[in-house]
Structure 1
C-alpha cells in the first residue's frame, strides 16, 4: 500500500500538479493539507474522474485537510480535545487493508508564529491533543499512520541552516520536546527509519532563492505505529515537484507498506 502526504498550498491553484501526481505516482491514499477552500469549492469532480474518493474537511481561505483514496473509506473530521477549536486541521480515515484496516490521519499542525502571540500556545495545545489521540488509538491496537505537515523541524540535521530557525516556533525546544513525546508513544518517523542522512528536506520557502540554494527544512512527516512500521518498505520524497511551474513550497512524501 502506498500512502503519501502533501501540503498542496491551495488545492485549486495546484490542481494540475495534483492530478499529474495522482496519475504518475498512483498512491492508494493521499493526505492533503492547506487546501485553502471550503468543502463545496473543493475540486471533487476532477479528482473523482482520476479514480479517487474524496473526504474533505475544508475552511475558507486557509487551513483545510483531505484524504483521497482509491477505495471508499469511513472518515471523521476534527481532532478531539478542544470543542471550541473550529480550525480545519485534522481528518482521519479507516482504510480497508485486506481483512483489516489502516487508520490514516491527515494533519495540518499549527505553525505557531509569531511566538509571542496566542498562536504558539495553540500549537502546543494541538500537539498535546494529538498525542492524547494517538495514545488512545495505539491502546486500541490500531495500525496507525499519522501523516501531514507538522510544522516541526525535529532535529538540526533537518534544516540546511539550523541557526536561522532557533527562535522560530517550528524549532523551539518546547516544540521539539512535544514531537519527541509523540514519537515516544511507540511511533516511528518513517524517513528516519530508512536514513540518518542530513540534507533531506520537504519544504523550501519561496523567498531568498531557498529552492535554488537548497536551503530547505524537513517538516512533513509520516509517523507509524509498530504494526505499520513493521511493514515499511520504502520512503520517497518527491523533490522534483518543487521544480514545477508555480509549485507548492512543500513536496509530497510517501511510504510503501507491504
Structure 2
C-alpha cells in the first residue's frame, strides 16, 4: 500500500501534473493540500477518470484538502480538526481506506511571526496534538499525512541560518512536532533516511530547485499499529522540475499488506 502526500498548490492549475504523476507513481492513497478551489470546482470527473475515488473539502482561493484512493472510495470519518467549532478554514479531512485511517492535514503557515497568524498556527498545532493523542490511544493503524509547515531539524533545511525567525522553523513549531513524535508516531521519511538531507519544497524564487535549496515540511507520520509495516519511503523530487509544477514534490511511504 503506497500512501502519498502532495501539496498541489492549486488543483485545477496543476491538474496535468497531478494526473501525470498519478499515472506514473500509481499511489494507492493520495493526500492533497492547498486545493485553492471551492467544493464545486474540484475536478472530480478527471480524477475519477484516472481511477481514483475521492473526497474533498474545498475553499475559495486558499487552503483545501482532499483524499484520493485508487480503485475505491475513501470512507470519510471526519472533515474538521476537533477543538475549535468556529474555525472555518479547510485544513483537515480524515477517511478510512483499505483498513488504514488516513488523516490529511494542512497546518497553517504562521508567518509573519510573531503575530495573529503565528498564534493561529500554534493553536491549530495544539489541537492536532490532542487529536493525534486520541488516534494513538485507539490502537488503529493511522497515517497522518500532509503539509505540516514545520521544518523539524537543521537536517531538513538548506542553510538553516536563513530560516531563523520564520514560523516554519520557530522553536515552538519544532517543539510541537517533537511532541507528536513523543506520542509514538514514526516520521516515515526520516526513519528510512536518518542522515540524508531530503526536501519536499523548493521556492519558485532564486532558482531554488536547481540549487536544491529546499526544506522538508511535508510529512507522513505512522502510528505504532502500522509503523512496523513500512518498507520504503521517499520523495518524487523530479516532479518539482517539470513544466508549471507545484512548489512541493510528492512524499510517500510504502506499507506491506
User: In structure 2, what is the equivalent of residue 29 of structure 1?
Assistant: 29
Alignment of 1:1-258 (within 5 A): 1-70=1-70, 71-75=72-76, 76-96=78-98, 101-258=99-256
- Give TM-score, length-normalised by structure 2: 0.97
How many matched pairs?
254
- TM-superposed CA distance for 1:55, in Å, is 0.3
- Give TM-score, length-normalised by structure 1: 0.97
Q: Secondary structure at the match of 2:239?
A: helix
Contact 2:68 2:74 in 1 (8 A): no
Provide the rounded CA distance (Å) in 2 between the counterparts of 1:9 and 1:28: 21
Q: Once superposed, what is the RMSD of the aligned Cα atoms?
A: 0.8
Provide the rounded CA distance (Å) in 2 between the counterparts of 1:198 and 1:2: 21
Which aligned runs of 4 or more in structure 1 are off by greater than 4 angstroms? none
Provide the rounded CA distance (Å) in 1 between the counterparts of 2:14 and 2:221: 26
- TM-superposed CA distance for 1:226, in Å, is 1.0
Q: Secondary structure at the match of 1:40?
A: helix
Contact 2:186 2:222 in 1 (8 A): yes
Provide the rounded CA distance (Å) in 2 between the counterparts of 1:181 and 1:157: 18
Provide the rounded CA distance (Å) in 1 between the counterparts of 2:106 and 2:134: 20
Q: Secondary structure at the match of 1:16?
A: helix
Q: Which runs of 5+ in 2 are unaligned?
A: none
- TM-superposed CA distance for 1:13, in Å, is 0.6
Q: Secondary structure at the match of 2:40?
A: coil
